[in-house]
């Protein structure tokens, strides 16, 4: 789930989310607009944002950026 969608589902404004996660409104705006890649943000910050949204941190990453739980088979 991407950040803006998760925020809207949670019924929060950018200001609400920023306050609850302990970051600035402009930081949330940069993440939502793609001007700042969430993959470049520290895990603790992502975890605080996710907690404020009641989602897992992994839900905030683009699908292709998520770590797979599958193990590779030997060749």
Provide the mean pLDDT of the chain.
87
- Read off the pLDDT band of 35 (50, 70, 90): very high
The predicted pLDDT at position 72 comes to 43
Query: Is-above-0.85 flag for pTM?
Result: no
The predicted pLDDT at position 54 comes to 96
Give the C-alpha separation, 49 to 29, whole Å. 13
Q: pLDDT, tens digit, for every residue of 37-72?
A: 999 999 999 999 999 999 999 999 887 555 544 344
Long-range own/partner contacts, residues 49-56 (CB < 8 A, 24 or more apart): 49/3, 49/17, 49/21, 49/23, 51/21, 52/10, 52/12, 52/17, 52/20, 52/21, 53/6, 53/7, 53/9, 53/10, 53/12, 53/17, 54/10, 55/1, 55/6
């Amino acid at each position: 789930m991407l950040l803006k969608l998760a925020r809207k589902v949670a019924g929060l404004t950018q200001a609400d989310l920023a306050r609850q996660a302990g970051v600035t409104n402009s930081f949330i705006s940069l993440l939502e607009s793609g001007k700042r890649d969430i993959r470049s943000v520290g895990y603790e910050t992502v975890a605080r944002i996710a907690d404020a949204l009641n989602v897992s941190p992994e839900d905030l990453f683009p699908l292709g950026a998520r770590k797979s739980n599958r193990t590779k088979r030997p060749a």
